[in-house]
Amino acid sequence: MSGKINIRRDTNDQFYRYKMPRLQGKIEGKGNGIKTVLPNIVEVSRALSRPPAYATKYFGSELGAQTKIEEKNDKYIVNGAHEVAKLQDLLYNFIDKFVLCGDCKNPETDLIITKEQTIVRHCMACGKRTDVDMKHRLSTFIVKNPPPKDKKGGQHASASATSAAGANDSSSDGHDNADNDEFDMLASDTAMLALNGAAAAAAADADDDGWEVDLDMSAEAVAARQKKLGVNTSLLKDDDDEDDARSGDKDPYDELGDFISANKSASDRAIFDKASELDLEKKHRALVVVVMCLFDNPATIVGDIAKRDKLLMAFGDSDKHQRAVIGGFERVIEADMDKLLAKTPIIFKALFDEEIVDEDAFVEWGKKPSKKYVDKDVAKQIHKAAQPFLRWLEEADEESEDEE
């Protein structure tokens, strides 16, 4: 069934003035390459005065699925097979959270990023400003990718709205999404639970079950971690590490590694809180330490990845963060080549399945061995061992393209 429907789901008034197209979905591909294409999400999002990446990303977050966006081709995809009715219901949830005024429920709103890096809905009807839930993952993406002020293609755009956004949006200094690859933006800005200290705590509290999983390790394994893996933080240093150093203090990466190794039953939440205390909660290099200290048991490494996915994503999933995760596992594999080298495809598949590292990051990593995290010869061996996984990614992608 197509046609226009009311933006608000709680009204059946046929004369309600705010309409949007009914969401469409098309399932394509099969097997690992199955996906749901959103052929009219651009038109739907235009009616909501929101970039189509927002709703698409919301779907991915709620469904636990990866998304792929080709803005230039107006192609928006959610991996997996999803019923249109379910997506429409999620769209209404998105509207409730990120479109409708929190006071009068009018959809004629603009999103404004405040100086405190929070989001408010500025209603053009009643003038009220109501907060957006900053615990939701989409809020992080919006903060990093504000609505373009000069390309507000929706039916509610106005000069006053643009002016208000310009006066209050501290993040919109020429940040125009029109010329960017939206998929790259998604890869670089999703899954970060911490906007600032308060938001990080709130985000963690929102899903205590996922955070409060105790470490599964023996006393012997804990005691041996630093010695066995050789957590040499000097190898983690980049040109942009100057802000990590604190004069006269112990290296924060060393402190984080010592904390993880010395606390047998530390939870994900406790580890992330310690990283935050050390100002490492957004540092991609902190992930190398976390991976090296937690994933040294060959017998349980794949299962441990599934248990620790929230912790690994909490630091962020930009290209650098994802590359650091891969680098950390390269070093773990290097430390026990006899047992782990052959498991490389399984380990990488687990990182992919848990959406910790996406396809693009693996493809980029697979282009050539790098000595950034391990010796060049070791990197070559790991690349060779990973070929079955990289071929699987390529074949799955080709299969989905053939279906189109």
β-bridge partners, 173: none
Distance CA 52, CA 228 (A): 48
The band of 14, judged by pLDDT with boundaries at 50, 70 and 90, is confident
Asked if 169 and 110 touch (Cβ cutoff 8 Å), the reply is no
Mean pLDDT, residues 362-379: 91
Q: How confident is the model at residue 397 (pLDDT cuts 50, 70, 90)?
A: low
Q: Residue 23: left (phi > 0), alpha (psi -120 to 50), or beta?
A: beta
pTM: 0.45
Report d(CA 269, CA 214) in Å as an integer.
9
Angle (deg, nearest 10), helices 197-205 and 268-277: 180
* Res. 48: pLDDT tops 90: yes
DSSP 373: S
Q: Considering only CA atoms, which of 88, 115, 135, 105 is closest in space to residue 11?
A: 105
The tens digit of pLDDT for each residue in 119-168 reads 999 999 999 999 999 989 899 999 999 988 643 333 333 333 333 333 33
Query: Residue 153 and residue 157: Cα distance in Å, rounded?
Result: 7
Q: What letter would DSSP give residue 20?
A: E
Cα distance between residue 73 and residue 88, in whole Å: 23
- What pLDDT, on a 0 to 100 scale, did the predictor assign at position 173? 35
Residues 270 and 273: their CA atoms lie apart, in Å, by: 5
User: 3-state DSSP call for residue 24?
Assistant: coil
Q: Which residue has the higher pLDDT, 208 or 350?
A: 350
**Distance between CA atoms of residues 331 and 329, nearest Å:** 5
18: left (phi over 0), alpha (psi -120 to 50) or beta: beta
pLDDT digits (tens, 9 = 90+) for 237-267: 444 444 444 444 568 888 898 898 887 468 9
Residue 321 burial by CB count (10 A; 0-12/13-18/19+): exposed, middle or buried? buried
Cβ atoms of 115 and 143 closer than 8 Å: no
Return d(Cα 280, Cα 275) in angstroms, integer.
5
Domain borders along the chain are 4-189, 197-403
- Looking at domain 4-189, which of 3.40.228.10, 3.30.30.170, 3.40.50.300, 3.30.2130.10 is its CATH number? 3.30.30.170
pLDDT tens digits, one per residue of 65-117: 899 998 888 899 999 999 999 999 999 999 999 999 999 999 999 999 998 89
Q: Which one has a higher pLDDT value, 184 or 298?
A: 298
CATH topology of domain 197-403: 1.25.40
The residue that leads in pLDDT, 79 or 228, is 79
